Chains A and B, each alone.
Chain A
Amino acid sequence: MGLSRSRYSLTFPSDDEGKVVFFSAKTAAAVQLPAQLVDGMAGGSLDAGEERLLVELGLLVPDIEEERREILSFTSELEAQAETFHLIVFVAQQCNLACPYCYQGAEKGSARLTAETSAHLVRFATTTAFDRGRDLKITFYGGEPLLALREILRLAEQLQHAAAARGRTFRFSFITNGTLLTREAASLLRPLGLRAALVTLDGPAASHDRQRPLRNGAGSFLRILANLQQTWDLVDLQINANYSRETYREYPRLLDDLLAAGLGPERISAINFSPITWERRSPVFTGGCRSGNEPWLFAAAPFLREETLRRGFRADKVRPTVCMVDLAHELVVDCDGSLYKCPCFVGEERFRVGHLTSGVQGRAEAYGRDRWRSTECLACPYLPLCFGGCRYQVYQATGTAAAVECKRPFFEACLERLVVQDLAYGPAVTKDSVP
């Protein structure tokens, strides 16, 4: 039927001689097949059933121009299919930790989500999500969001009522340092819609306590670990660990410490590692990497992922990845009700896109919404895995968020290893699979 190989497909060597792994960056599907089949695809060496299978998996396409159009409409298709509206809500600017690398700086404000802003948020959620047949998911963020527990309880209760009155659902999660995620707090929040918490642990105790001390200088590791032990049955717990070139080799010990503390893959649903980045805006912090393509990351990222997976923990799979800036049903709300498209730019006027009372206005050119729709990006086999990459990362490097953060060097160096890891470890243990 005149098929072409997808522009967003890659082949990697297989352990089986004469065979290759054929992977789609567009669908994350992978097959193993004889190498000569890939070479001979244009010559029609596949039978009809094989052709149908590879088309279904997105590895072959009937029309390369149609595939281009499909990729160009990828984000609008996601928007059209979205059943859930997602808000990241800044509930408190304050934090009880003093992490030297914090991108929000050492001196934080004292603002919290007021009763007035909460009321605006309920009205906004009702008209933008519930009345349009969509559910609502909020990710509470800060500062440390659990410093505003009272404000969150008030808002969550109001949103539960608003959702129920229209036959919709409301659920929420936290990005939290974990120091205040007690069983008591989780028990109060669970009936109001708490589902997940993403907790930061920067390596084993010594490394973590150096990078994430309490404001009085004391360590926070043991307190967080105790909270995780007390809440895993109430909240879907996920861990993110920020590493540096100097510290990442110690991080497998964090995984062993979690296992020794009874926090195995049946209690922690995902562990991911992120490199600490250099901060353009920080007057004091000068460490961290300036690009996701620094060569040491090509060793560090697959190494940490391998250590995670081989202990049975789950990490994010390689799959299509879209920045929230490119999706209309994803927004960020600051304490004062201002709307943004990315949490990293909150407080910067040129990245503000509206207010809860007036909705989103304009296209927010500062974010460069069409930056990946270039000939170069559309021809890149890795495009669906990055869609232009992280705007904050490129802002750090260049001073503009409207440029592409090209991840091609990283993918060229690491993708094969990451895909092979996913295939080798398969579906990991999840909470749902444990009786």
Chain B
Amino acid sequence: MNRIIVLAPKVDKKEILMACCSGTKVRVAQG
């Protein structure tokens, strides 16, 4: 039996949250 279960894969670099998304003022639309 596998002792390790993958719950979430690693994100592609293209999916890294860009721009002001971490800020509170301007959240850039993804698209």
Q: Which of A248-287 contact B (CB under 8 A)?
A: 269-270, 272, 274-277
The docked-state distance in angstroms from the alpha carbon of A392 to that of B21 is: 12
**In the assembled complex, which residues on chain A have CB atoms less than 8 Å from the CB atom of B23?**
323, 344, 390-393
B31 touches A236 (CB 8 A): yes
B22 touches A344 (CB 8 A): no
**In the assembled complex, which residues on chain A have CB atoms less than 8 Å from the CB atom of B13?**
77-78, 81
Most buried by A among B3, B9, B25: B25
Q: A57 at the A/B interface (Cβ < 8 Å)?
A: yes
B6 touches A31 (CB 8 A): yes
Interface of B is mostly: loop
Q: Which of B1-31 contact A (CB under 8 A)?
A: 3-11, 13, 15-31
B4 touches A33 (CB 8 A): yes
A174 touches B29 (CB 8 A): yes
A86 touches B4 (CB 8 A): no
B24 touches A88 (CB 8 A): no
Q: A139 at the A/B interface (Cβ < 8 Å)?
A: yes
Known: A342-B20, A389-B22. A272 touches B27 (CB 8 A): yes
Nearest B-chain residue to A200, judged by Cβ: B27
A324 touches B18 (CB 8 A): yes
Nearest CB of B to A85, in Å: 12
Nearest CB of B to A72, in Å: 16
B6 touches A29 (CB 8 A): yes
- Segment among A191-199, A224-232, A373-381 that sits at the interface with chain B: A191-199
User: In the complex, which of the residues A31, A196, A393 contacts B30, with contact meaning CB atoms closer than 8 Å?
Assistant: A196
Q: A163 at the A/B interface (Cβ < 8 Å)?
A: no
**In the assembled complex, which residues on chain A have CB atoms less than 8 Å from the CB atom of B30?**
196, 238, 270
A37 touches B3 (CB 8 A): yes
Q: A173 at the A/B interface (Cβ < 8 Å)?
A: yes
B26 touches A344 (CB 8 A): yes
The docked-state distance in angstroms from the alpha carbon of A368 to that of B17 is: 20
A88 touches B25 (CB 8 A): no
User: In the complex, which of the residues B16, B17, B22, B29 contacts A175, with contact meaning CB atoms closer than 8 Å?
Assistant: B29
A32 touches B5 (CB 8 A): yes
**In the assembled complex, which residues on chain A have CB atoms less than 8 Å from the CB atom of B21?**
316, 321
**In the assembled complex, which residues on chain B have CB atoms less than 8 Å from the CB atom of A277?**
24-25
Mark A156-180 against chain B: 1 for CB-CB distance below 8 A, else 0: 0000000000000001011100000
A31 touches B7 (CB 8 A): yes
Known: A139-B28, A238-B29, A238-B30. A390 touches B22 (CB 8 A): yes
Q: Which A residues are within 8 Å of any B CB, using their own CB? A: 21, 24, 27-34, 37, 50, 53-54, 56-58, 77-78, 81, 86, 88, 103, 139, 141, 171, 173-175, 195-198, 236, 238, 240, 269-270, 272, 274-277, 292, 316-317, 319-324, 327, 330, 342-344, 386, 389-393, 422-423
Having A24-B10, A344-B23, one finds 11 other A-B pairs with CB under 8 Å, namely A29-B8, A57-B10, A86-B18, A88-B19, A139-B19, A173-B28, A236-B31, A319-B11, A323-B22, A390-B20, A393-B24
Q: Which B residues are within 8 Å of any A CB, using their own CB? A: 3-11, 13, 15-31
- In the complex, 11 of the A-B residue pairs with CB atoms within 8 angstroms, ordered by the A residue number, are A21-B7, A31-B6, A174-B29, A292-B24, A316-B17, A317-B11, A320-B11, A322-B18, A343-B26, A390-B22, A393-B23
